[in-house]
Amino acid sequence: MFSRLKLLTAGESHGPALVAVLEGIPAGLFLTPEDINRDLRRRQKGYGRGLRSRKIESDSVRLLSGVRHGFTVGSPITMLIENRDFENWRLAMSPEPLDDFVANENLRSFFVPRPGHADLSGAVKYLTKDLRPVLERASARETAARVAAGAVAKKLLAELGVHIASHVVAIGEVSANSDASKLSLTEIQERTDASELRCLDQEAERAMKQLIDKAAREGETLGGIFEILVEGVPIGLGSHVHWDRKLDGRLAQAIMSIPAIKGVEIGKAFELARKFGSQVHDPFLPPNPNASDWRFFPRASNNAGGLEGGITNGERIVVRGAMKPISTLRNPLPSVDLRNLQPARAHIERSDVCAVPAAAVVAEAMVALVIADAVLEKFGGDSMAELKTNINRFRELIRKWMVGQGDEDFETKK
């Protein structure tokens, strides 16, 4: 998925800490812990979140490497996020061997998988009947490390004039009646950060909260749909020449890698699938060689979501993700006890009722990492100064190409 960046996350949900190692960020990017903590706080908010997100954990990052005196130095950036709840799990998640006399209840093992979770598949894959190790790594708690890495990518992109925002489109059967295409990303960010559900439609948000309250009373969970928007993206990122270089495919993989995400669309994909081509494709407006952004060939619409042929076209990138309801139910579904293969009710673990707003923040991070990787792939540069110079040079080349200055330099020699 990544060409120039490398990301490794480590840690368990109730272990001592989560760690993210991000390699490939150029030297000279101004970066502080608050740049990262801001997004970690946003990830923990949201109506319908559980006790851990609301009260137990208050995530903050420690920068262990790759940053000196507030600037990146070009080496791998190591970030550590402590799990404050580890004190209550010290025995259960101890990396050291335990004495034989430790009571089983203190180990917090469980043997009845939850339908919809990685429990059973992970148990078969690793041939373990104790499902605790599977739950600990498959948990969405891991995404805090991704948000930390994504915050670094967002800071890099912001230096280049690329900005990202997200909003919740639907919770369960309740959909927002709002058109984000008519709003600036600054307006979207301000309105969603003031909303408990990151929703642009206040009336729909009230109905969403009522539905979440109903689900909580009934021991249910809810999923939904979120949308990620990216503006200021250079034209020409990605490629059409190989399947694995297509940027829309890389974005789809990144979103699908988030726990509980079961569907992705670029632009208005599912709606457009029901229409004729003349109603779908985005007509060109008069070209503008002097565009201050990357819209040298602006469009009358943006149904494609900023990507054509796997390549950015200068328009706003629009990506949606569909999140299924969380797998842990307070009224558990039928399952099987792996110790004796007898019918049993699924395990209950502390969980959220709805985490769609948090998933949107995680998706922002993943989109930022993919876009930042594509920028570095095309423009290169070991320092921010070199990267910016390369981007500005490409912008000028496009202008010259459009107006026919030095055409002989652009034509393929025969």
Q: Taking the alpha carbons of 132, 133, 136, 137 in that order, is the dihedral positive or negative?
A: negative
Q: Is residue 413 part of a domain?
A: no
Q: Report how far residue 331's alpha carbon sits from residue 375's, in angstroms, rounded to the nearest whole number.
A: 47
The structure tokens 């335990």 sit at: 98
- pLDDT tens-place values along the chain, 414 residues long: 799 999 999 999 999 999 999 999 999 999 999 999 999 999 999 998 876 555 566 899 999 999 999 999 999 999 999 999 999 999 899 988 887 766 666 789 999 999 999 999 999 999 999 999 999 999 999 999 999 999 999 999 999 999 999 999 999 999 999 899 999 999 999 999 999 999 999 999 999 999 999 999 999 999 999 999 999 999 999 999 999 999 999 999 999 999 999 999 999 999 999 999 999 999 999 999 999 999 999 999 999 999 999 999 999 999 999 999 999 999 999 999 999 999 999 999 888 999 999 999 999 999 999 999 999 999 999 999 999 999 999 999 999 999 998 676 666 654
Q: If DSSP states are collapsed to H, E and C, what string results for 97-123?
A: CCCCCCCHHHHCCCCCCCCCCCHHHHH
Cross-strand partners of 7: 22
Looking at residue 411, what is its pLDDT?
66
- Is there a contact between 175 and 202 (Cβ–Cβ < 8 Å)? no
- 23 occurs within a structural domain: yes
Query: What's the CATH code of the domain at 48?
Result: 3.60.150.10
For CA atoms 69, 157, 359, 41, the dihedral sign is positive
Structural domain contains residue 409: no
Alpha carbon distance 100, 383 (integer Å) = 54
Question: Residue 202 has what pLDDT?
Answer: 95
Q: What share of the chain is helix, strand, coil (3-state, %, to 5)?
A: 40, 20, 45
> Can you tell me whether residue 154 is helix, strand or coil?
helix
Alpha carbons 282 and 304: distance in angstroms, whole number? 7
410 falls within a domain:
no
> Is 405 contained in some domain?
no
Per the structure, how many domains does the chain have?
Answer: 1
Q: How much is the CA Rg of the chain, to the nearest whole Å?
A: 23
What pLDDT was estimated at residue 160?
A: 98
Q: Is residue 1 part of a domain?
A: no
Q: Does residue 408 form part of some domain?
A: no
Measured distance CA(228)–CA(254) in Å, rounded: 12
The verdict on residue 185 lying in a domain is: yes
Distance between CA atoms of residues 284 and 314, nearest Å: 12
Return the bridge partners of 72, or none: 67
User: In terms of residue numbers, what domain contains 238?
Assistant: 6-389
Asked if 82 contacts 148 with a C-beta cutoff of 8 angstroms, the reply is: no
Predicted local distance difference test score (pLDDT) of residue 22:
98
